[in-house]
Structure 1
Protein backbone atom coordinates (compact mmCIF):
# COMPACT_ATOMS: atom_id res chain seq x y z
CA UNK A 1 0.00 0.00 0.00
CA UNK A 2 1.08 3.58 -0.70
CA UNK A 3 0.31 6.80 1.18
CA UNK A 4 -0.42 9.74 -1.13
CA UNK A 5 0.02 13.23 0.32
CA UNK A 6 -1.01 16.37 -1.59
CA UNK A 7 0.45 19.86 -1.45
CA UNK A 8 0.00 23.12 -3.35
CA UNK A 9 2.05 26.06 -4.58
CA UNK A 10 2.67 29.34 -2.74
CA UNK A 11 -0.71 31.16 -2.90
CA UNK A 12 -4.07 30.40 -1.31
CA UNK A 13 -7.34 31.11 -3.12
CA UNK A 14 -9.21 30.90 0.20
CA UNK A 15 -7.03 33.05 2.46
CA UNK A 16 -7.53 36.70 1.50
CA UNK A 17 -4.87 39.43 1.51
CA UNK A 18 -2.12 36.88 2.16
CA UNK A 19 0.28 37.23 -0.74
CA UNK A 20 3.79 36.02 0.17
CA UNK A 21 5.16 37.50 -3.08
CA UNK A 22 4.75 41.27 -2.67
CA UNK A 23 7.61 42.96 -4.45
CA UNK A 24 9.52 46.14 -5.22
CA UNK A 25 11.36 46.78 -8.47
CA UNK A 26 14.85 48.25 -8.57
CA UNK A 27 13.40 51.27 -10.40
CA UNK A 28 11.08 51.86 -7.45
CA UNK A 29 14.00 51.36 -5.06
CA UNK A 30 16.07 53.98 -6.89
CA UNK A 31 13.30 56.57 -6.66
CA UNK A 32 13.71 56.67 -2.88
CA UNK A 33 16.50 59.19 -2.34
CA UNK A 34 17.60 57.91 1.05
CA UNK A 35 19.17 54.49 0.38
CA UNK A 36 18.80 53.33 3.99
CA UNK A 37 15.12 54.26 3.93
CA UNK A 38 14.75 52.29 0.69
CA UNK A 39 16.37 49.24 2.30
CA UNK A 40 14.10 49.53 5.34
CA UNK A 41 11.12 49.54 2.96
CA UNK A 42 12.45 46.38 1.29
CA UNK A 43 12.70 44.78 4.71
CA UNK A 44 9.12 45.74 5.56
CA UNK A 45 7.89 44.14 2.33
CA UNK A 46 9.92 41.00 3.04
CA UNK A 47 8.59 40.88 6.60
CA UNK A 48 5.02 41.19 5.30
CA UNK A 49 5.70 38.30 2.89
CA UNK A 50 7.02 36.18 5.75
CA UNK A 51 4.05 37.01 8.00
CA UNK A 52 1.73 35.97 5.17
CA UNK A 53 3.73 32.77 4.73
CA UNK A 54 3.14 31.97 8.38
CA UNK A 55 -0.58 32.67 7.89
CA UNK A 56 -0.57 30.26 4.94
CA UNK A 57 1.14 27.58 7.01
CA UNK A 58 -1.49 28.03 9.74
CA UNK A 59 -4.20 27.72 7.08
CA UNK A 60 -2.51 24.54 5.86
CA UNK A 61 -2.24 23.07 9.34
CA UNK A 62 -5.93 23.78 9.99
CA UNK A 63 -6.78 21.90 6.78
CA UNK A 64 -4.31 19.06 7.46
CA UNK A 65 -2.17 20.01 4.45
CA UNK A 66 1.35 18.72 5.15
CA UNK A 67 3.11 19.72 1.93
CA UNK A 68 3.65 23.27 0.68
CA UNK A 69 5.87 25.07 -1.81
CA UNK A 70 7.27 28.34 -0.54
CA UNK A 71 7.48 31.17 -3.03
CA UNK A 72 10.96 32.12 -4.21
CA UNK A 73 9.92 35.80 -4.07
CA UNK A 74 9.92 36.19 -0.31
CA UNK A 75 12.66 38.84 -0.30
CA UNK A 76 12.57 41.38 -3.15
CA UNK A 77 15.93 42.33 -4.71
CA UNK A 78 17.82 40.04 -2.32
CA UNK A 79 20.42 39.17 -4.97
CA UNK A 80 20.48 42.42 -6.94
CA UNK A 81 24.01 43.44 -7.87
CA UNK A 82 23.47 46.92 -6.38
CA UNK A 83 22.42 45.47 -3.02
CA UNK A 84 25.12 42.91 -2.32
CA UNK A 85 26.01 44.73 0.92
CA UNK A 86 22.48 44.20 2.28
CA UNK A 87 22.34 41.52 4.97
CA UNK A 88 18.73 40.60 4.32
CA UNK A 89 18.70 37.62 6.70
CA UNK A 90 19.56 39.56 9.87
CA UNK A 91 16.36 41.66 10.26
CA UNK A 92 14.18 38.69 9.27
CA UNK A 93 15.87 36.00 11.32
CA UNK A 94 13.25 35.83 14.10
CA UNK A 95 10.30 35.51 11.68
CA UNK A 96 12.14 32.99 9.50
CA UNK A 97 12.78 30.85 12.56
CA UNK A 98 9.10 31.14 13.54
CA UNK A 99 8.12 29.82 10.10
CA UNK A 100 10.53 26.92 10.38
CA UNK A 101 9.43 26.04 13.89
CA UNK A 102 5.77 26.04 12.87
CA UNK A 103 6.43 23.86 9.80
CA UNK A 104 8.37 21.35 11.90
CA UNK A 105 5.81 21.33 14.73
CA UNK A 106 2.98 20.54 12.30
CA UNK A 107 5.12 18.22 10.15
CA UNK A 108 4.65 20.30 7.00
CA UNK A 109 7.16 19.51 4.28
CA UNK A 110 8.24 22.77 2.63
CA UNK A 111 10.40 23.35 -0.39
CA UNK A 112 11.18 25.83 -3.17
CA UNK A 113 11.11 25.90 -6.97
CA UNK A 114 13.59 28.61 -8.06
CA UNK A 115 12.60 30.54 -11.18
CA UNK A 116 13.34 29.41 -14.72
CA UNK A 117 16.30 31.81 -15.07
CA UNK A 118 18.33 29.56 -12.74
CA UNK A 119 20.42 27.74 -15.36
CA UNK A 120 23.19 25.45 -14.16
CA UNK A 121 23.95 24.41 -17.74
CA UNK A 122 24.25 27.94 -19.11
CA UNK A 123 26.97 28.69 -21.65
CA UNK A 124 27.53 32.07 -19.99
CA UNK A 125 29.62 32.37 -16.84
CA UNK A 126 27.68 35.31 -15.41
CA UNK A 127 24.38 33.40 -15.70
CA UNK A 128 25.91 30.41 -13.93
CA UNK A 129 27.25 32.73 -11.22
CA UNK A 130 23.84 34.38 -10.76
CA UNK A 131 22.16 30.98 -10.69
CA UNK A 132 24.42 29.76 -7.91
CA UNK A 133 23.78 33.00 -6.04
CA UNK A 134 20.01 32.47 -6.31
CA UNK A 135 20.33 28.89 -5.08
CA UNK A 136 22.45 30.16 -2.18
CA UNK A 137 19.61 32.54 -1.24
CA UNK A 138 17.24 29.56 -0.96
CA UNK A 139 19.82 27.65 1.07
CA UNK A 140 20.29 30.58 3.49
CA UNK A 141 16.52 31.00 3.92
CA UNK A 142 16.12 27.33 4.81
CA UNK A 143 19.05 27.47 7.22
CA UNK A 144 17.59 30.56 8.88
CA UNK A 145 14.28 28.70 9.25
CA UNK A 146 16.13 25.86 10.95
CA UNK A 147 15.07 23.44 8.20
CA UNK A 148 17.47 20.88 6.77
CA UNK A 149 18.11 22.19 3.21
CA UNK A 150 18.69 18.70 1.78
CA UNK A 151 16.53 18.19 -1.32
CA UNK A 152 14.39 21.28 -0.83
CA UNK A 153 14.89 23.04 -4.21
CA UNK A 154 13.46 21.54 -7.38
CA UNK A 155 14.67 22.92 -10.69
CA UNK A 156 14.72 22.15 -14.38
CA UNK A 157 17.85 20.99 -16.18
CA UNK A 158 18.05 24.32 -18.02
CA UNK A 159 18.47 25.40 -21.62
CA UNK A 160 18.65 22.92 -24.47
CA UNK A 161 20.53 25.22 -26.88
CA UNK A 162 19.46 22.92 -29.76
CA UNK A 163 21.88 20.22 -28.63
CA UNK A 164 20.54 17.93 -25.90
CA UNK A 165 23.69 15.85 -25.43
CA UNK A 166 26.03 18.84 -25.16
CA UNK A 167 23.60 20.64 -22.83
CA UNK A 168 23.47 17.63 -20.52
CA UNK A 169 27.25 17.35 -20.44
CA UNK A 170 27.57 21.08 -19.77
CA UNK A 171 25.29 20.59 -16.75
CA UNK A 172 27.70 17.90 -15.49
CA UNK A 173 30.71 20.18 -16.03
CA UNK A 174 29.07 23.21 -14.38
CA UNK A 175 27.75 21.09 -11.51
CA UNK A 176 31.33 20.77 -10.29
CA UNK A 177 31.39 24.56 -9.78
CA UNK A 178 28.36 24.46 -7.49
CA UNK A 179 29.33 24.33 -3.78
CA UNK A 180 28.58 20.97 -2.18
CA UNK A 181 26.07 22.36 0.34
CA UNK A 182 24.13 23.93 -2.55
CA UNK A 183 24.32 20.70 -4.58
CA UNK A 184 22.69 18.89 -1.67
CA UNK A 185 19.60 21.12 -1.86
CA UNK A 186 18.79 20.22 -5.47
CA UNK A 187 16.17 17.98 -7.07
CA UNK A 188 15.73 17.87 -10.87
CA UNK A 189 12.45 17.80 -12.80
CA UNK A 190 11.76 16.60 -16.34
CA UNK A 191 10.25 19.38 -18.44
CA UNK A 192 7.73 19.66 -21.26
CA UNK A 193 9.92 20.98 -24.09
CA UNK A 194 13.64 20.40 -23.62
CA UNK A 195 14.61 17.46 -21.40
CA UNK A 196 12.65 14.22 -21.23
CA UNK A 197 12.35 11.85 -18.30
CA UNK A 198 15.19 9.79 -19.81
CA UNK A 199 17.41 12.87 -20.23
CA UNK A 200 16.81 13.96 -16.65
CA UNK A 201 17.37 10.45 -15.31
CA UNK A 202 20.78 10.45 -16.99
CA UNK A 203 21.86 13.44 -14.88
CA UNK A 204 20.16 12.29 -11.69
CA UNK A 205 21.82 8.88 -11.81
CA UNK A 206 25.21 10.28 -12.78
CA UNK A 207 25.24 13.02 -10.12
CA UNK A 208 23.14 11.38 -7.37
CA UNK A 209 20.26 13.90 -7.56
CA UNK A 210 16.63 12.96 -6.78
CA UNK A 211 14.28 13.17 -9.76
CA UNK A 212 10.90 14.85 -9.33
CA UNK A 213 8.67 13.20 -11.93
CA UNK A 214 6.27 15.60 -13.62
CA UNK A 215 3.58 13.38 -15.15
CA UNK A 216 1.96 16.15 -17.23
CA UNK A 217 5.34 17.24 -18.61
CA UNK A 218 6.10 13.66 -19.56
CA UNK A 219 2.84 13.30 -21.46
CA UNK A 220 3.61 16.54 -23.31
CA UNK A 221 7.20 15.61 -24.16
CA UNK A 222 8.62 12.11 -24.17
CA UNK A 223 10.64 9.62 -26.17
CA UNK A 224 9.27 6.53 -24.40
CA UNK A 225 5.56 6.93 -23.68
CA UNK A 226 5.69 4.10 -21.15
CA UNK A 227 7.04 6.01 -18.16
CA UNK A 228 6.39 2.90 -16.04
CA UNK A 229 9.47 1.32 -17.64
CA UNK A 230 11.62 3.92 -15.90
CA UNK A 231 9.69 4.26 -12.62
CA UNK A 232 12.02 2.03 -10.60
CA UNK A 233 14.95 4.14 -11.80
CA UNK A 234 13.13 7.27 -10.58
CA UNK A 235 12.54 5.65 -7.19
CA UNK A 236 16.22 4.70 -6.91
CA UNK A 237 17.30 8.35 -7.27
CA UNK A 238 15.66 8.95 -3.86
CA UNK A 239 17.45 6.22 -1.90
CA UNK A 240 19.85 8.70 -0.25
CA UNK A 241 17.18 11.30 0.53
CA UNK A 242 15.73 11.89 4.02
CA UNK A 243 12.41 12.84 2.34
CA UNK A 244 9.67 10.78 0.66
CA UNK A 245 9.69 10.65 -3.13
CA UNK A 246 8.07 13.70 -4.73
CA UNK A 247 6.20 14.23 -8.00
CA UNK A 248 4.27 17.03 -9.72
CA UNK A 249 0.68 16.64 -10.85
CA UNK A 250 -1.14 19.01 -13.19
CA UNK A 251 -3.66 18.63 -15.99
CA UNK A 252 -3.73 20.08 -19.51
CA UNK A 253 -5.83 23.20 -20.00
CA UNK A 254 -7.15 21.65 -23.24
CA UNK A 255 -6.03 19.42 -26.09
CA UNK A 256 -5.03 22.53 -28.05
CA UNK A 257 -3.20 24.06 -25.08
CA UNK A 258 -1.92 20.76 -23.71
CA UNK A 259 1.21 22.17 -22.05
CA UNK A 260 -0.70 24.84 -20.11
CA UNK A 261 -1.92 24.02 -16.61
CA UNK A 262 -5.63 23.71 -15.98
CA UNK A 263 -7.41 25.40 -13.08
CA UNK A 264 -8.01 22.00 -11.47
CA UNK A 265 -6.74 18.41 -11.53
CA UNK A 266 -8.31 15.71 -13.67
CA UNK A 267 -8.85 12.99 -11.05
CA UNK A 268 -8.96 10.21 -13.64
CA UNK A 269 -5.63 11.31 -15.11
CA UNK A 270 -4.15 11.43 -11.61
CA UNK A 271 -5.35 7.95 -10.69
CA UNK A 272 -4.07 6.52 -13.95
CA UNK A 273 -0.62 7.54 -12.67
CA UNK A 274 -1.27 6.34 -9.12
CA UNK A 275 -2.38 2.90 -10.30
CA UNK A 276 0.97 2.59 -12.07
CA UNK A 277 3.04 3.29 -8.93
CA UNK A 278 0.85 1.69 -6.23
CA UNK A 279 2.95 -0.42 -3.88
CA UNK A 280 6.27 0.68 -5.38
CA UNK A 281 6.87 3.23 -2.59
CA UNK A 282 5.50 3.55 0.92
CA UNK A 283 4.69 7.25 0.44
CA UNK A 284 4.62 9.75 -2.38
CA UNK A 285 4.20 13.53 -1.97
CA UNK A 286 2.33 15.04 -4.91
CA UNK A 287 2.62 18.77 -5.57
CA UNK A 288 -0.57 20.07 -7.19
CA UNK A 289 0.39 22.57 -9.88
CA UNK A 290 -3.01 24.01 -10.77
CA UNK A 291 -4.13 27.59 -11.34
CA UNK A 292 -6.61 27.43 -8.44
CA UNK A 293 -3.91 26.45 -5.91
CA UNK A 294 -5.37 25.14 -2.62
CA UNK A 295 -8.89 25.30 -4.05
CA UNK A 296 -7.76 22.73 -6.64
CA UNK A 297 -6.37 20.54 -3.86
CA UNK A 298 -9.64 20.67 -1.91
CA UNK A 299 -11.69 19.89 -5.04
CA UNK A 300 -9.43 16.96 -5.86
CA UNK A 301 -9.75 15.58 -2.33
CA UNK A 302 -13.56 15.87 -2.53
CA UNK A 303 -13.45 13.75 -5.68
CA UNK A 304 -11.01 11.27 -4.14
CA UNK A 305 -13.26 10.71 -1.10
CA UNK A 306 -15.93 9.05 -3.24
CA UNK A 307 -13.56 6.40 -4.62
CA UNK A 308 -13.62 2.82 -3.36
CA UNK A 309 -9.90 2.19 -4.04
CA UNK A 310 -8.64 4.59 -1.34
CA UNK A 311 -8.82 5.03 2.42
CA UNK A 312 -8.85 8.60 3.74
CA UNK A 313 -6.16 9.63 6.22
CA UNK A 314 -6.77 13.38 6.66
CA UNK A 315 -7.63 16.51 4.68
CA UNK A 316 -4.85 16.06 2.13
CA UNK A 317 -3.69 12.44 2.43
CA UNK A 318 -5.09 9.03 1.56
CA UNK A 319 -4.03 5.43 1.27
CA UNK A 320 -4.09 3.56 -2.02
CA UNK A 321 -5.66 0.17 -1.36
Structure 2
Protein backbone atom coordinates (compact mmCIF):
# COMPACT_ATOMS: atom_id res chain seq x y z
CA UNK A 1 0.00 0.00 0.00
CA UNK A 2 1.40 3.40 -1.03
CA UNK A 3 2.38 5.78 1.76
CA UNK A 4 1.85 9.50 1.26
CA UNK A 5 4.35 11.83 2.91
CA UNK A 6 5.17 15.50 3.29
CA UNK A 7 8.33 17.45 3.94
CA UNK A 8 9.87 19.00 7.04
CA UNK A 9 7.16 21.35 8.37
CA UNK A 10 3.80 20.57 9.96
CA UNK A 11 1.82 23.78 9.41
CA UNK A 12 -0.92 22.76 11.86
CA UNK A 13 1.55 22.40 14.73
CA UNK A 14 3.67 25.36 13.58
CA UNK A 15 0.65 27.61 14.15
CA UNK A 16 0.13 26.43 17.72
CA UNK A 17 1.37 28.28 20.80
CA UNK A 18 4.06 27.40 21.64
CA UNK A 19 5.06 26.70 18.05
CA UNK A 20 6.10 23.14 17.17
CA UNK A 21 8.95 23.17 14.65
CA UNK A 22 12.21 21.40 13.84
CA UNK A 23 13.96 24.29 12.09
CA UNK A 24 14.82 26.71 14.87
CA UNK A 25 18.01 28.39 13.75
CA UNK A 26 20.17 31.49 14.04
CA UNK A 27 22.28 33.71 11.86
CA UNK A 28 25.99 32.98 11.75
CA UNK A 29 26.81 36.07 13.84
CA UNK A 30 24.64 34.69 16.66
CA UNK A 31 26.23 31.27 16.33
CA UNK A 32 29.72 32.78 16.59
CA UNK A 33 28.66 34.82 19.63
CA UNK A 34 26.68 32.17 21.53
CA UNK A 35 28.48 29.05 20.35
CA UNK A 36 27.72 25.40 21.01
CA UNK A 37 25.62 26.05 24.11
CA UNK A 38 22.96 27.90 22.12
CA UNK A 39 23.25 25.52 19.15
CA UNK A 40 22.67 22.64 21.56
CA UNK A 41 19.59 24.29 23.10
CA UNK A 42 18.02 24.84 19.68
CA UNK A 43 18.93 21.32 18.57
CA UNK A 44 17.31 19.81 21.66
CA UNK A 45 14.08 21.74 21.07
CA UNK A 46 14.13 20.72 17.40
CA UNK A 47 14.58 16.99 18.02
CA UNK A 48 11.97 17.08 20.79
CA UNK A 49 9.47 18.65 18.39
CA UNK A 50 10.30 16.05 15.74
CA UNK A 51 8.83 13.46 18.08
CA UNK A 52 5.70 15.62 18.54
CA UNK A 53 5.30 15.87 14.75
CA UNK A 54 5.72 12.12 14.26
CA UNK A 55 3.09 11.42 16.93
CA UNK A 56 0.70 13.82 15.18
CA UNK A 57 1.46 12.06 11.89
CA UNK A 58 0.58 8.64 13.31
CA UNK A 59 -2.72 9.95 14.72
CA UNK A 60 -3.47 11.13 11.18
CA UNK A 61 -2.33 7.91 9.46
CA UNK A 62 0.87 9.42 7.98
CA UNK A 63 3.88 7.11 8.05
CA UNK A 64 6.21 8.87 5.64
CA UNK A 65 8.06 12.07 6.55
CA UNK A 66 11.07 14.06 5.36
CA UNK A 67 13.19 15.36 8.24
CA UNK A 68 14.42 18.96 8.03
CA UNK A 69 18.12 19.39 7.28
CA UNK A 70 18.09 22.35 9.69
CA UNK A 71 17.38 20.26 12.78
CA UNK A 72 20.94 20.89 14.05
CA UNK A 73 21.74 24.60 13.38
CA UNK A 74 25.17 25.21 11.77
CA UNK A 75 25.95 21.50 12.19
CA UNK A 76 28.67 21.64 9.53
CA UNK A 77 30.74 23.72 11.95
CA UNK A 78 30.95 21.20 14.80
CA UNK A 79 30.68 17.54 15.70
CA UNK A 80 27.16 16.93 17.03
CA UNK A 81 28.64 14.76 19.79
CA UNK A 82 30.50 17.80 21.19
CA UNK A 83 27.28 19.70 21.99
CA UNK A 84 26.94 20.25 25.76
CA UNK A 85 23.39 18.84 25.57
CA UNK A 86 24.45 15.79 23.53
CA UNK A 87 23.34 13.19 26.09
CA UNK A 88 19.78 14.46 26.38
CA UNK A 89 19.62 15.04 22.60
CA UNK A 90 20.74 11.44 22.04
CA UNK A 91 18.11 10.21 24.52
CA UNK A 92 15.37 11.92 22.47
CA UNK A 93 16.80 10.57 19.20
CA UNK A 94 16.82 7.07 20.73
CA UNK A 95 13.16 7.53 21.68
CA UNK A 96 12.36 8.69 18.14
CA UNK A 97 14.22 5.71 16.69
CA UNK A 98 12.12 3.30 18.77
CA UNK A 99 8.91 5.16 17.90
CA UNK A 100 9.76 5.02 14.19
CA UNK A 101 10.38 1.26 14.31
CA UNK A 102 7.31 0.49 16.42
CA UNK A 103 5.03 2.49 14.11
CA UNK A 104 6.55 1.54 10.72
CA UNK A 105 7.48 5.14 9.90
CA UNK A 106 9.73 5.92 6.94
CA UNK A 107 12.05 8.90 7.49
CA UNK A 108 14.06 10.44 4.65
CA UNK A 109 16.31 13.46 4.07
CA UNK A 110 16.88 15.90 1.20
CA UNK A 111 20.06 17.98 1.78
CA UNK A 112 20.12 21.40 0.10
CA UNK A 113 21.23 22.41 -3.41
CA UNK A 114 24.69 23.50 -2.25
CA UNK A 115 25.58 19.79 -2.08
CA UNK A 116 27.31 19.35 -5.45
CA UNK A 117 29.29 16.16 -6.04
CA UNK A 118 29.70 17.16 -9.72
CA UNK A 119 31.66 20.33 -8.87
CA UNK A 120 35.22 20.79 -10.19
CA UNK A 121 36.02 22.88 -7.07
CA UNK A 122 37.71 21.04 -4.23
CA UNK A 123 36.24 23.38 -1.60
CA UNK A 124 32.69 22.66 -2.82
CA UNK A 125 33.33 18.91 -2.66
CA UNK A 126 34.76 19.22 0.86
CA UNK A 127 31.70 21.15 2.05
CA UNK A 128 29.36 18.72 0.31
CA UNK A 129 31.02 15.74 1.98
CA UNK A 130 30.83 17.49 5.34
CA UNK A 131 27.10 18.15 4.94
CA UNK A 132 26.26 14.68 3.66
CA UNK A 133 28.23 13.08 6.49
CA UNK A 134 26.27 15.19 8.98
CA UNK A 135 23.07 13.73 7.54
CA UNK A 136 24.54 10.24 7.79
CA UNK A 137 25.39 10.87 11.45
CA UNK A 138 21.80 11.93 12.20
CA UNK A 139 20.48 8.80 10.47
CA UNK A 140 22.85 6.66 12.54
CA UNK A 141 21.87 8.42 15.78
CA UNK A 142 18.23 7.66 14.98
CA UNK A 143 19.10 4.02 14.35
CA UNK A 144 17.78 4.18 10.78
CA UNK A 145 18.61 1.49 8.23
CA UNK A 146 21.75 1.93 6.15
CA UNK A 147 19.69 1.54 2.98
CA UNK A 148 17.76 3.85 0.63
CA UNK A 149 14.65 3.02 2.67
CA UNK A 150 15.96 5.95 4.73
CA UNK A 151 17.31 7.83 1.75
CA UNK A 152 19.56 10.89 1.70
CA UNK A 153 18.50 12.40 -1.63
CA UNK A 154 20.40 14.97 -3.71
CA UNK A 155 20.58 16.40 -7.23
CA UNK A 156 23.65 16.60 -9.48
CA UNK A 157 23.28 20.41 -9.38
CA UNK A 158 25.70 21.29 -12.17
CA UNK A 159 26.70 20.41 -15.74
CA UNK A 160 29.77 22.68 -16.11
CA UNK A 161 29.69 22.49 -19.90
CA UNK A 162 30.18 18.72 -20.07
CA UNK A 163 27.50 16.51 -18.56
CA UNK A 164 29.43 13.24 -18.84
CA UNK A 165 32.55 14.67 -17.17
CA UNK A 166 30.37 16.12 -14.41
CA UNK A 167 28.73 12.72 -13.83
CA UNK A 168 32.17 11.08 -13.79
CA UNK A 169 33.18 13.52 -11.03
CA UNK A 170 29.99 12.64 -9.13
CA UNK A 171 30.94 8.95 -9.26
CA UNK A 172 34.55 9.60 -8.21
CA UNK A 173 33.53 11.87 -5.33
CA UNK A 174 30.91 9.34 -4.22
CA UNK A 175 33.82 7.05 -3.29
CA UNK A 176 35.01 9.66 -0.74
CA UNK A 177 31.83 9.21 1.32
CA UNK A 178 31.42 6.89 4.29
CA UNK A 179 29.22 3.79 4.04
CA UNK A 180 26.71 5.59 6.27
CA UNK A 181 26.05 8.01 3.38
CA UNK A 182 26.85 5.78 0.39
CA UNK A 183 24.29 3.15 1.37
CA UNK A 184 21.53 5.75 1.76
CA UNK A 185 22.32 8.12 -1.09
CA UNK A 186 19.84 8.59 -3.94
CA UNK A 187 19.78 10.99 -6.88
CA UNK A 188 16.84 12.87 -8.41
CA UNK A 189 15.95 14.12 -11.89
CA UNK A 190 15.94 17.89 -12.51
CA UNK A 191 13.41 20.49 -13.68
CA UNK A 192 15.54 22.28 -16.31
CA UNK A 193 16.04 20.90 -19.83
CA UNK A 194 19.80 21.59 -19.66
CA UNK A 195 20.18 19.50 -16.50
CA UNK A 196 19.75 15.81 -15.67
CA UNK A 197 16.87 13.62 -16.80
CA UNK A 198 16.22 10.11 -15.48
CA UNK A 199 17.79 8.84 -18.70
CA UNK A 200 20.97 10.85 -17.95
CA UNK A 201 21.09 9.62 -14.36
CA UNK A 202 21.09 6.00 -15.47
CA UNK A 203 24.78 6.56 -16.32
CA UNK A 204 25.48 7.26 -12.64
CA UNK A 205 23.34 4.36 -11.46
CA UNK A 206 25.12 1.94 -13.79
CA UNK A 207 28.52 3.07 -12.48
CA UNK A 208 27.92 3.23 -8.72
CA UNK A 209 24.55 1.55 -8.19
CA UNK A 210 22.64 4.30 -6.38
CA UNK A 211 18.86 4.47 -6.89
CA UNK A 212 17.08 7.23 -8.81
CA UNK A 213 14.18 9.13 -7.23
CA UNK A 214 11.64 10.00 -9.93
CA UNK A 215 10.05 13.45 -9.69
CA UNK A 216 6.87 13.65 -11.77
CA UNK A 217 6.80 17.47 -11.91
CA UNK A 218 10.48 17.78 -12.86
CA UNK A 219 10.06 15.28 -15.69
CA UNK A 220 7.71 17.71 -17.46
CA UNK A 221 10.64 20.12 -17.93
CA UNK A 222 13.49 17.64 -18.46
CA UNK A 223 12.24 14.42 -19.99
CA UNK A 224 15.33 13.15 -21.84
CA UNK A 225 13.15 12.25 -24.80
CA UNK A 226 11.19 9.53 -22.99
CA UNK A 227 7.65 9.39 -21.62
CA UNK A 228 6.63 9.72 -17.97
CA UNK A 229 5.79 6.02 -17.86
CA UNK A 230 9.17 5.05 -19.34
CA UNK A 231 11.10 7.38 -17.01
CA UNK A 232 9.24 6.08 -13.96
CA UNK A 233 9.95 2.48 -14.98
CA UNK A 234 13.65 3.27 -15.45
CA UNK A 235 13.89 4.94 -12.04
CA UNK A 236 12.08 2.08 -10.31
CA UNK A 237 14.42 -0.44 -11.94
CA UNK A 238 17.33 1.14 -10.03
CA UNK A 239 15.90 0.36 -6.57
CA UNK A 240 16.70 -2.77 -4.54
CA UNK A 241 13.86 -5.29 -4.92
CA UNK A 242 13.15 -5.39 -1.17
CA UNK A 243 12.79 -1.59 -0.78
CA UNK A 244 9.75 0.36 -1.95
CA UNK A 245 10.91 3.15 -4.29
CA UNK A 246 10.24 6.79 -3.40
CA UNK A 247 8.85 9.21 -5.95
CA UNK A 248 8.17 12.95 -5.64
CA UNK A 249 5.00 14.69 -6.75
CA UNK A 250 3.96 18.32 -6.97
CA UNK A 251 1.82 20.49 -9.22
CA UNK A 252 2.51 23.81 -10.90
CA UNK A 253 1.65 26.96 -8.95
CA UNK A 254 1.22 28.76 -12.31
CA UNK A 255 -1.44 26.25 -13.38
CA UNK A 256 -3.26 26.43 -10.06
CA UNK A 257 -3.34 30.22 -10.02
CA UNK A 258 -3.75 30.63 -13.80
CA UNK A 259 -0.91 33.14 -13.71
CA UNK A 260 1.63 33.08 -16.55
CA UNK A 261 3.93 35.35 -14.53
CA UNK A 262 4.54 32.59 -12.00
CA UNK A 263 7.43 30.26 -12.83
CA UNK A 264 6.00 27.00 -14.18
CA UNK A 265 8.37 24.93 -12.02
CA UNK A 266 7.13 26.56 -8.78
CA UNK A 267 5.14 24.22 -6.51
CA UNK A 268 1.48 24.83 -5.74
CA UNK A 269 0.11 24.99 -2.19
CA UNK A 270 -2.16 21.98 -2.69
CA UNK A 271 -2.55 19.16 -5.19
CA UNK A 272 -5.72 18.39 -7.15
CA UNK A 273 -5.01 14.70 -7.67
CA UNK A 274 -2.49 11.94 -7.14
CA UNK A 275 -0.28 10.95 -10.09
CA UNK A 276 -0.66 7.88 -12.25
CA UNK A 277 1.77 5.39 -10.68
CA UNK A 278 1.19 2.85 -13.49
CA UNK A 279 0.52 0.02 -11.05
CA UNK A 280 3.86 0.29 -9.22
CA UNK A 281 4.11 -0.07 -5.44
CA UNK A 282 5.63 3.25 -4.33
CA UNK A 283 5.93 5.74 -1.49
CA UNK A 284 4.88 9.20 -2.65
CA UNK A 285 6.47 12.34 -1.20
CA UNK A 286 4.15 15.27 -1.93
CA UNK A 287 6.13 18.50 -2.26
CA UNK A 288 3.32 21.03 -1.84
CA UNK A 289 3.57 24.26 0.15
CA UNK A 290 0.59 23.38 2.40
CA UNK A 291 2.56 20.36 3.65
CA UNK A 292 0.40 17.95 5.70
CA UNK A 293 -2.79 19.79 4.68
CA UNK A 294 -2.12 18.91 1.04
CA UNK A 295 -2.22 15.15 1.66
CA UNK A 296 -4.92 14.81 4.34
CA UNK A 297 -7.79 14.76 1.77
CA UNK A 298 -6.19 11.74 0.08
CA UNK A 299 -5.68 9.64 3.21
CA UNK A 300 -9.29 8.58 3.81
TM-score (norm 1): 0.83
Report the count of equivalent residues: 284
Output aligned runs, 1:199-210, within 5 Å.
Answer: 199-210=200-211
| Runs of 5+ unmatched residues, structure 2 | none
CA contact (8 A) 2:198 2:234 kept: no
1:221 deviation in Å?
Answer: 1.8
1:93 deviation in Å?
Answer: 0.8
CA contact (8 A) 1:219 1:225 kept: no
1:287 partner SS = strand
d(CA) in 2 for partners of 1:64, 1:103? 13
CA contact (8 A) 1:245 1:285 kept: yes
2:270 counterpart of 1:264: yes
1:90 deviation in Å?
Answer: 4.5
1:258-293 residue CA offsets vs partner (Å, 9 max, x unmatched): 1000001131xx34x22xx21xx3x21000100000
Q: Larger RCO: Structure 1 or Structure 2 (Cα < 8 Å, ≥ 6 residues apart)? A: 1
d(CA) in 2 for partners of 1:113, 1:90? 26
d(CA) in 1 for partners of 2:212, 2:189? 8
Q: Which residue number in structure 2 is paired with residue 231 of structure 1?
A: 232
Query: Structure 1 residues 230 and 30, CA, compared in 2 at 3 Å: closer, same or farther?
Result: closer
d(CA) in 2 for partners of 1:48, 1:218? 38
Q: Which residue number in structure 1 is paired with residue 169 of structure 2?
A: 170
1:248 partner SS = strand
| Runs of 5+ unmatched residues, structure 1 | 33-37, 302-314, 317-321
2:158 counterpart of 1:156: no
1:137-187 residue CA offsets vs partner (Å, 9 max, x unmatched): 111111111111322211112212232222112212222222333211101
Query: Structure 1 residues 95 and 84, CA, compared in 2 at 3 Å: closer, same or farther?
Result: closer
Query: Structure 1 residues 31 and 180, CA, compared in 2 at 3 Å: closer, same or farther?
Result: closer
Query: Structure 1 residues 58 and 84, CA, compared in 2 at 3 Å: closer, same or farther?
Result: closer
Give the aligned CA root-mean-square deviation in angstroms: 1.8
2:246 partner SS = strand
1:87 to 66, 82, 90: 82
1:278-311 residue CA offsets vs partner (Å, 9 max, x unmatched): 1xx3x21000100000001113x1xxxxxxxxxx
CA contact (8 A) 2:133 2:177 kept: no
Q: Which residue number in structure 2 is paired with residue 135 of structure 1?
A: 132
Q: Which residue number in structure 1 is paired with residue 198 of structure 2?
A: 197
Shifted more, 133-142 versus 53-62: the winner is 133-142
